[in-house]
């Protein structure tokens, strides 16, 4: 063993983690899906203290042998009955929340994740409460009283909504909320659900065509069959504008 290796081994042998304040690590998940032109978020009703009976984002403590992403997937399955392996889904880390008083039990740092769940635009996957959740349900985001959410989950939900809405201006992230093959109309419904504005159909189609590729398939729509597309590029150039389309 090298001299440096010996010094490191000696240091670790005498190192005492108990000399530092304990900090727990958790995950929280902002899970979005669209149905009937409305953006929904998955919420659970807390079945235990603290915040008994309050609505909260799904989440929980990271186990000693798992990373944050593995914990996020496990907690979503345990608390809301939603197994991400069975769905078309996009997951990304949102932010880390570390305010000293964000959890009344102890010092808890949370790694929040944004989860975009594809749907057919008409229905949402069933949620089933488990572990310490009394209920699990989809709630329309824009009609939600976020001030009633437990912990700092209102802040986390707002950050997730802003991340999604902002990235929809210049990337094709909205396509993560529709099936792999979709109509332009279905994609525009996602923008309506998230941005709360009706974008002009013709202008939207012209701007999106450069980053979409026709699949050759069609589905029956009002009046005439509608063509199916898939994502062909990540970037929307020029970007869309949230207020003007």
CATH number of the domain bearing residue 98: 3.90.79.10
Do the domain assignments include residue 3?
no
In tens, the pLDDT along 24-65 reads 999 999 999 999 999 999 999 999 999 999 999 999 999 999
Higher pLDDT, 1 or 63: 63
Between CA 167 and CA 45 the distance in angstroms is: 30
| pLDDT, position 18 | 87
Do the domain assignments include residue 80?
yes
**Domain span including residue 143:** 20-168
- Find the mean pLDDT for residues 201-212: 94
Alpha helices in the chain (DSSP H): 3-13, 68-80, 153-170, 184-195, 201-208
Q: Residue 61 has what DSSP assignment? A: E
Do the domain assignments include residue 45?
yes
Whether the predicted pLDDT of 4 surpasses 80: no
Whole-model pTM: value is 0.93
Do the domain assignments include residue 225?
no
Do the domain assignments include residue 75?
yes
Do the domain assignments include residue 94?
yes
Q: Give the largest CA-CA distance in the chain.
A: 79
- Find the mean pLDDT for residues 178-195: 97
- Find the mean pLDDT for residues 95-120: 97
- Find the mean pLDDT for residues 136-142: 97
Whether the predicted pLDDT of 20 surpasses 90: no
pLDDT over 90 percentage in the chain: 85
Between CA 90 and CA 163 the distance in angstroms is: 13
CA 14 to chain centroid, in Å, comes to 42
- Assign 86 a pLDDT band (cuts: 50, 70, 90): confident
| pLDDT, position 2 | 64
For the chain, the average pLDDT equals: 94
- Find the mean pLDDT for residues 152-178: 98
| pLDDT, position 245 | 62
Do the domain assignments include residue 201?
no
Q: Flag the least confident range among 25-34, 75-84, 112-121, 145-154.
A: 75-84
| pLDDT, position 244 | 64
Whether the predicted pLDDT of 132 surpasses 80: no
Do the domain assignments include residue 117?
yes
E strand spans, 53-168: 55-56, 59-61, 89-97, 108-117, 133-140
When divided into structural domains, the chain yields a total of: 1
Q: Flag the least confident range among 2-11, 45-54, 190-199, 209-218.
A: 2-11
């Amino acid at each position: 063993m090298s001299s440096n290796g010996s010094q490191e081994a000696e240091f670790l042998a005498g190192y005492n983690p108990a000399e530092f304040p304990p900090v727990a690590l958790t995950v929280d998940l902002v899970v979005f899906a669209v149905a009937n032109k409305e953006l929904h978020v998955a919420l659970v009703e807390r079945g235990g203290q603290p915040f008994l009976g309050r609505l909260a984002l799904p989440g929980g403590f990271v186990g000693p042998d798992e990373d944050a992403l593995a914990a996020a997937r496990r907690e979503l399955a345990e608390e809301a009955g939603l197994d991400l392996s069975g769905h078309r889904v996009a997951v990304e880390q949102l932010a880390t929340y570390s305010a000293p008083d964000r959890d009344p039990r102890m010092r808890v740092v949370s790694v929040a994740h944004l989860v975009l769940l594809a749907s057919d635009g008409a229905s949402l996957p069933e949620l089933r409460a488990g572990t310490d959740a009394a209920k699990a349900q989809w709630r329309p985001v824009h009609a939600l009283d976020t001030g009633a959410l437990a912990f700092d989950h209102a802040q986390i939900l707002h950050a997730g909504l802003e991340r999604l809405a902002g990235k929809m201006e210049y990337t094709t992230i909205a396509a993560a909320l529709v099936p792999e093959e979709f109509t332009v109309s279905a994609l525009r419904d996602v923008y309506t659900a998230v941005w709360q504005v009706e974008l002009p159909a013709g202008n939207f189609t012209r701007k999106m065509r450069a980053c979409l590729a026709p699949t050759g398939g069609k589905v029956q729509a009002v009046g005439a069959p509608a063509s199916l597309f898939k994502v062909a590029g990540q970037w929307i150039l020029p970007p869309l504008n949230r207020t003007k389309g």
